[in-house]
Amino acid sequence: MPTLIIAIAELFGTALWFTPNAVIHDLQTLWSLQTADLGWLTGAVQGGFLIGTLTIGLAGLADRLDASRLFAACCLVGALSNALLPWAGGLWGAVGLRVITGMCLAGIYPVGMKLMVGWTPGRTGLGLAWLVGMLVLGTALPHGLRALSEWQGMGVSWRGGIWGASLLAVAGGLLVRRLGEAPGVQTAKSQASASATSRLIGIQAFHIRDFRRAASAYFGHMWELYTLWALLPLMLLASMPRLSTLALALGAFALIAIGGPTCWLGGWLSQRLGSRRVAQLGLAGSATCCALYPLLTWLPPSWLIAFLALWSALAVVDSPQFSALSAAACPATIVGSALTLQNAIGFAVSMLSLLALIPLWHWLGPWLAWVILPGPLFGLWCLATHRALPKKASSADSGR
CATH superfamily for domain 2-180+203-390: MFS general substrate transporter like domains (1.20.1250.20)
pLDDT at 200: 62
pLDDT band, very low/low/confident/very high, at 194 (cuts 50, 70, 90)? very low
Residue 380 has pLDDT above 90, yes or no: yes
pLDDT at 185: 63
pLDDT at 41: 81
Residue 267 has pLDDT above 70, yes or no: yes
pLDDT at 371: 96
**Residues near 314 by Cβ (< 8 Å), separated by ≥ 6?**
262, 282, 285, 286, 289
Residue 145 has pLDDT above 80, yes or no: no
DSSP 211-277: HHHHHHHHHHHHHHHHHHHHHHHHHHHHH-TT--HHHHHHHHHHHHHTHHHHHHHHHHHHHHH-HHH
Residue 35 has pLDDT above 70, yes or no: no
Residue of higher predicted confidence among 52 and 399: 52
Q: Is there a contact between 284 and 384 (Cβ–Cβ < 8 Å)?
A: no
State the Cα–Cα distance between residues 113 and 117, nearest whole angstrom. 6
Region 292-311: mean pLDDT is 92
State the Cα–Cα distance between residues 339 and 317, nearest whole angstrom. 18
Region 10-27: mean pLDDT is 79
Domain coordinates of the chain in residue numbers? Answer: 2-180+203-390
pLDDT at 54: 87
Residue 326 has pLDDT above 80, yes or no: yes
pLDDT at 169: 94
Residue 148 has pLDDT above 70, yes or no: no
Residue 268 has pLDDT above 50, yes or no: yes
Rounded to two decimals, the pTM is 0.77
Task: Taking the CA atoms of 78, 81, 84 and 85 in sequence, report the sign of the dihedral they define.
Answer: negative
Q: For 199, which DSSP code?
A: S
Which residue in 6, 47, 54, 127 sits closest to 340, CA to CA? 54
pLDDT at 143: 67
pLDDT at 199: 54
pLDDT at 207: 85
pLDDT at 29: 77
Region 260-271: mean pLDDT is 88
Strongest mean pLDDT among 147-156, 192-201, 337-346: 337-346
Residue 196 has pLDDT above 60, yes or no: no
pLDDT band, very low/low/confident/very high, at 291 (cuts 50, 70, 90)? very high
pLDDT at 317: 92
Residue 285 has pLDDT above 90, yes or no: yes
State the Cα–Cα distance between residues 289 and 304, nearest whole angstrom. 11
Tell me what the pLDDT averaged over the chain comes to: 82
State the Cα–Cα distance between residues 370 and 359, nearest whole angstrom. 15
Least confident of 103-112, 124-133, 276-285: 124-133
State the Cα–Cα distance between residues 237 and 243, nearest whole angstrom. 7
Q: Which pLDDT tens digit goes with each residue over 211-224?
A: 999 999 999 999 99
